[in-house]
Amino acid sequence: MSPTPLVLFVHSIGQAVQAAHLMPPATRTLRACSAAFAVALVLLACPSTESGDDVDATVEGRPAGGDRTAGAAEPRSDSPGAADGERLDWALVVHGGPETSLAGSAAANARLEALQVVLDAGIQRLTAGSAAVDVVAELLRRLEDEPSFNAGRGAAFTDRGTHRLDAALIDGRSHAMGVVFGTRNVRNPIVLARRLLEQGGGTIRVAALADQAAGELGVEKAPQNFFTTPPRLLELRSARRRGEVDAVPGVPGSVGVVALDRYGNLAVGVSTGGAALREADAFSDVALPGAGLFADNRSGAAVVLGPDGSLVRRMAAHAIVERLRHTEPGSAVESVVEELPGGGAVALTAAGTILVSPPETGLWRALADASGRREAGLVRAEEPTVGDRRGGPPGSSEGGPSSPPRSDGE
């Protein structure tokens, strides 16, 4: 199968961003912003339906029927109660980022509880008929307010001792998106991303322009110390005592949500404080459309985790979603994840099959669908979760693990 023009273009953008890391900071920031904007423009140019397919009717701006777009692939669904080729009424997967050495037993309990609360809210809204893009934005807002995750309050420090926040939201029906990089004073970056999506459908704001846009759009702001938490402050002070000035290696923490609603629409969103001690003018791969997240009603939606630089070089999220159109779902995810050092992914097919491939350190995740499946907890990389619809890992069901999982640092 030959690469599509989109794949070739986003690959060239990835190379440009990779080369930008060798440039002076000011030039690098400008190049990164230009690359992100170029990717957004191309993704917006992608048709959200096959030629000749029309939307018959809308309910509050969403397709009224549950039928999938003609021409979409028919991924295998292993969901209990769902026959091959059927689409579930709704499905939801939330991730709270990889397990880290910062997570002691108290943090583990907090993460689990937050994931369960967010999952319940998502189930309630999707069951009631809310649009996927609204559900994704709302659940991410809640996760940003939970200090145990690297997003919003609880975000990692940069090498300058500041917080710079990134977030992105994509509607799989129209490919409309809102993207925020490097905001300093927006309490909930995903709220700003949602407003930008509503304003223009393909709007990106970076650094001071993001903070300015928040004021113009009435999005709540917060001072820098709002985002600081004791574990993050300890992390920063310990690194400085050791003389460490480079970004912490490995998979940066983030939160992500992927949802399918009853109208057959997919949406995906992410929020992150970036890699701990990253350069203050750098941005996170995970918030770059095509690299860290992508959604297309015809095939699926995905959020990918991996070391900064690895996702944009491969346009990993877009690669997964494209392969979901032509490949068995589990293989579509694993074939991309195996190319990412220590990476992972969560995804949904257009039929509602939930796919989870955790990073090597493990992944906090919660998931549910209309068949009655509901799980929340920490899943390890060695556990067979991709395409596994039979249930979660031992001790990771509706009630969560009976005791908090031990962190890598304990």
| Span 4-60, pLDDT tens digits | 444 444 444 444 444 444 445 544 444 445 444 444 444 444 443 333 333 222 233
DSSP state of 186: B
pLDDT digits (tens, 9 = 90+) for 179-229: 999 999 999 999 999 999 998 766 899 999 999 999 999 999 999 999 999
Looking at every residue in the chain, the average pLDDT score rounds to: 79
Among 298, 246, 240, smallest CA distance to 275 is for: 246
Written as six digits, the tokens of 328 are: 């068995």
Q: 34 lies in a domain?
A: no
Tell whether the model's pLDDT for residue 171 goes beyond 80.
yes
Written as six digits, the tokens of 170 are: 């994509």
DSSP 129-168: T--HHHHHHHHHHHHHT-TTSSSSTTPPP-TTS---EEEE
Residue showing tokens 């990164």: 32
Question: CATH number for the domain including 92?
Answer: 3.60.20.30
* Cα 315 from Cα 171, distance rounded (Å): 18
Q: 321 lies in a domain?
A: yes
Burial 104-132, CB ≥16 within 10 A → b, else e: eeebbbbbbebbbbbbeebbebbeeebbb
What pLDDT shows up at residue 85? Answer: 62
* Cα 152 from Cα 136, distance rounded (Å): 15
What pLDDT shows up at residue 235? Answer: 87
Q: 393 lies in a domain?
A: no
Question: What is the average pLDDT across 311-317?
Answer: 96
Question: What is the average pLDDT across 300-315?
Answer: 95
- Backbone phi, then psi, for 43, in 5-degree steps? -65, -35
Question: What is the average pLDDT across 360-377?
Answer: 96
Instruction: Using the Cα atoms of residue 129, residue 130, residue 131 and residue 135 in order, give the sign of their dihedral.
Output: negative
Q: Which residue has the higher pLDDT, 399 or 248?
A: 248
Among 124, 126, 130, 125, smallest CA distance to 59 is for: 130
**52-56, 139-143, 204-208, 307-311 — most confident range:** 139-143
Report the interhelical angle of 189-200 vs 132-144 (nearest 10°): 150
What pLDDT shows up at residue 101? Answer: 58
163: Cβ–Cβ under 8 A, 6 or more apart, which residues? 155, 156, 157, 184, 224, 227, 228, 273
Q: Which residue has the higher pLDDT, 80 or 151?
A: 151
pLDDT digits (tens, 9 = 90+) for 253-296: 999 999 999 999 999 999 999 999 999 888 899 999 999 999 99
Q: 88 lies in a domain?
A: yes
Residue showing tokens 């690669």: 319
What pLDDT shows up at residue 239? Answer: 83
What pLDDT shows up at residue 31? Answer: 45
Q: 145 lies in a domain?
A: yes
What pLDDT shows up at residue 383? Answer: 60
405: Cβ–Cβ under 8 A, 6 or more apart, which residues? 99, 108, 362, 377, 378
Burial 43-71, CB ≥16 within 10 A → b, else e: bbeeebbeeeeeeeeeeeebbeeeebbee
Q: 130 lies in a domain?
A: yes
**Would you place residue 242 in the very low, low, confident or very high pLDDT band (cuts 50, 70, 90)?**
confident
Which residues on neighbouring strands pair with residue 177, listed in sequence order?
170, 202
Written as six digits, the tokens of 88 are: 């579930």
**Would you place residue 99 in the very low, low, confident or very high pLDDT band (cuts 50, 70, 90)?**
confident
Residue showing tokens 């909930």: 188
Q: Provide the Cα torsion 329, 335, 337, 342; round to 10°.
A: 140
What pLDDT shows up at residue 80? Answer: 39
Q: 363 lies in a domain?
A: yes
Question: What would you measure as the largest C-alpha separation in the chain, in angstroms?
Answer: 62
Contact (CB, 8 A) for 36 and 235: no
Domain total in the chain: 1
* Cα 250 from Cα 146, distance rounded (Å): 22
Tell whether the model's pLDDT for residue 122 goes beyond 80.
yes
Contact (CB, 8 A) for 175 and 69: no
Stretch among 83-92, 123-132, 135-144, 320-329 having the lowest mean pLDDT:
83-92
Stretch among 15-19, 56-60, 109-113, 395-399 having the lowest mean pLDDT:
56-60
Q: Which residue has the higher pLDDT, 210 or 73?
A: 210
**Would you place residue 244 in the very low, low, confident or very high pLDDT band (cuts 50, 70, 90)?**
confident
Half-sphere exposure of 167 (CA within 13 A, CB side): 35
Q: 305 lies in a domain?
A: yes
Percent of the chain with pLDDT over 70: 70
What pLDDT shows up at residue 238? Answer: 87
Tell whether the model's pLDDT for residue 81 goes beyond 80.
no
Tell whether the model's pLDDT for residue 340 goes beyond 50.
yes
Residue 232: domain span: 80-379
What pLDDT shows up at residue 281? Answer: 87
Neighbours of 235 (CB within 10 A): 19
